[in-house]
A = this chain, B = another copy of it.
């Protein structure tokens, strides 16, 4: 058997010297390694990047083989990666991707955690999550802006655009969930986040995503009371189990205690084996029994999730804006027999879809140089490119001030069709002119406008009922491949777990060349355009308008 445990620490090469044969394969190499950087990955020694067991490679042997293959890869070759294992190198051409990735895909009838775990145990599979197995995870920053946009949107919808003196109740301070306290604070609210693993709380304190730690509920609520009274936006991580504490807060609220202003959750509920601590269990017990008695763990975790969701529905019933934040916890509770699990909405239809209609989503870039100065310069370039976008300027200022880089310096920034390719071409120009210390890569989350089918999350409640149609992400991956992205990925089960999603990723390298200009112009236009196309096809007015503005050719949509 191949191994998943190793004490090596992985750091990507930095600077402007190649360790592979060209910048395209060097980019893939550095981004794979960056995903496993000790400051980036949640559990790098087991190859886990984030999101439960989202891995960057299937085993350490496979990691080494991928690295060796990337170092040897020619400019007209393509490496195939199958669930974290490098399975073939083929002759293609210079405008083709250097790496093509398929992770965790299962024929639907067998697309369950049970079958996945069986294959995983045999060494035949790996869970790729979204950006873990596709090498474009950038640490917790990757989700900060999305979470910030979501909280801010709830503020607009429900609190007149002002979250001062208000607080968010949530749980989970993992790789993604750890963004919640910072995002809340950026949006102007305080935050109480329940987390059962103290080391996760400490990690968020260290990176300044979180302000305080509490050991008891009373302590945490006292802090919240103080901050909200003072109109300060600050955050506290409470050590405990959400399945116990969230119902307790509901009970106190019903008895006249403090009332949260927004309720959500970001435990790894999508993964009932590895992602959610059962009520009443210790962490040690949990870890031990995931190996020795997985069935018992899943049973207990699902029961605890039901209690958690029941409490969330309690808040919803009491009029507190309550959102599923994309971890599929409602589905788990539904399967546990709680018929009202879907009483509260997911965050995409509630807050994000209007952005998707314009191809706006979690665009991001990474300085392969390792030099934070490169991000400072690209931040400035973005402001220069989009002088009138006040929202973007505000975000970039907050991010520069509050966000600690993890691993290779990176920036996230939600922009859409008509903007992304301008950023890409401008960055490539900066590389060409030597203004940046080395090339940059541009990518995005799989959670994006045109790249995902996930009926409990990104495609929940589509206007035409096409939530489960996954032709769209497949076309997105094929088109990005045809357009010349540097690597392209197709995954199953990200975010919401096995059976519940299919999604695609893409990353493209700005190496400063004229060929890269042509590829960037195509890829960074076509990729968000598929999102506009998908939403226009579903009948969204914003998307139809956006398609007209940008003169997209959509043959099945009649001219207005």
**Distance in Å: Cβ of A328 to nearest Cβ of chain B:** 10
- CB–CB A533/B87 < 8 A: yes
Is A122 among interface residues, defined by CB-CB distance under 8 A?
yes
User: Which one, A178-186, A219-227, A247-255, A470-478, is touching chain B?
Assistant: A470-478
Q: CA separation between A525 and B499, bound complex, in Å?
A: 33
Is A131 among interface residues, defined by CB-CB distance under 8 A?
no
Count contacts on A: residues with CB < 8 A to the other chain.
Answer: 81
Is A69 among interface residues, defined by CB-CB distance under 8 A?
yes
- CB–CB B478/A102 < 8 A: yes
Q: CA separation between A501 and B107, bound complex, in Å?
A: 6
- CB–CB A102/B68 < 8 A: no
Residue numbers in B under 8 Å from A91 (CB-CB):
522, 525-526
Is A215 among interface residues, defined by CB-CB distance under 8 A?
no
- CB–CB A469/B500 < 8 A: no
Q: CA separation between A95 and B501, bound complex, in Å?
A: 31
Is A80 among interface residues, defined by CB-CB distance under 8 A?
yes
Q: CA separation between A157 and B469, bound complex, in Å?
A: 43
**Distance in Å: Cβ of A499 to nearest Cβ of chain B:** 4
- CB–CB A479/B105 < 8 A: no
- CB–CB A108/B492 < 8 A: yes
Known: A478-B490, A483-B96. A105 touches B470 (CB 8 A): yes
Residue numbers in B under 8 Å from A556 (CB-CB):
62, 65, 85-87
Residue numbers in B under 8 Å from A465 (CB-CB):
118-119, 122, 124
Interface residues of A in 469-516 (CB under 8 A from B): 469-472, 474-475, 477-479, 481-484, 488, 490, 492, 498-502
Interface residues of A in 66-82 (CB under 8 A from B): 66, 68-69, 78-80, 82
Is A110 among interface residues, defined by CB-CB distance under 8 A?
yes
Interface residues as binary, A405-427 with B (CB distance below 8 Å gives 1, 0 otherwise): 00000000000000000000000
- CB–CB B102/A500 < 8 A: no
Residue of B nearest to A523 (CB): B92
The complex is assembled from copies of this chain, and their number is: 2
Known: A92-B482, A107-B454, A478-B477. A464 touches B80 (CB 8 A): no
**Among A85, A97, A122, A555: residue with most chain B CB under 10 A:** A555
Residue numbers in B under 8 Å from A119 (CB-CB):
465-466, 468-469
- CB–CB B88/A502 < 8 A: no
Q: CA separation between A472 and B85, bound complex, in Å?
A: 12
- CB–CB B537/A87 < 8 A: yes
Choice from B97, B118, B529 contacting A88 with Cβ under 8 Å? B529
**Distance in Å: Cβ of A558 to nearest Cβ of chain B:** 10
Is A205 among interface residues, defined by CB-CB distance under 8 A?
no
Known: A108-B106, A481-B478, A499-B109. A89 touches B468 (CB 8 A): no
**Among A97, A100, A102, A108: residue with most chain B CB under 10 A:** A108
Is A115 among interface residues, defined by CB-CB distance under 8 A?
yes
Residue numbers in B under 8 Å from A103 (CB-CB):
471
Residue numbers in B under 8 Å from A79 (CB-CB):
555
Interface residues of A in 450-471 (CB under 8 A from B): 453-455, 464-471
Known: A454-B107, A479-B90, A537-B82. A124 touches B469 (CB 8 A): yes
Residue numbers in B under 8 Å from A453 (CB-CB):
107
- CB–CB A83/B469 < 8 A: yes
Is A242 among interface residues, defined by CB-CB distance under 8 A?
no
**Distance in Å: Cβ of A47 to nearest Cβ of chain B:** 15
Residue numbers in B under 8 Å from A482 (CB-CB):
78, 92-93, 96-97, 100, 481-482
Is A554 among interface residues, defined by CB-CB distance under 8 A?
yes
Q: CA separation between A382 and B180, bound complex, in Å?
A: 64
Q: CA separation between A410 and B92, bound complex, in Å?
A: 28
Known: A482-B97, A552-B88, A555-B89. A468 touches B110 (CB 8 A): yes
Interface CB pairs A-B, < 8 A, 9: A68-B555, A88-B555, A92-B526, A93-B95, A93-B522, A105-B502, A107-B499, A108-B108, A474-B474
A107-B502, A124-B466, A470-B492 known, 10 other contacts, Cβ within 8 Å: A65-B555, A78-B482, A82-B537, A87-B537, A90-B529, A92-B526, A93-B484, A104-B471, A105-B470, A107-B453
**Smallest CB-CB A-B distances: 5 pairs:** A108-B111, A108-B108, A110-B468, A102-B471, A96-B482
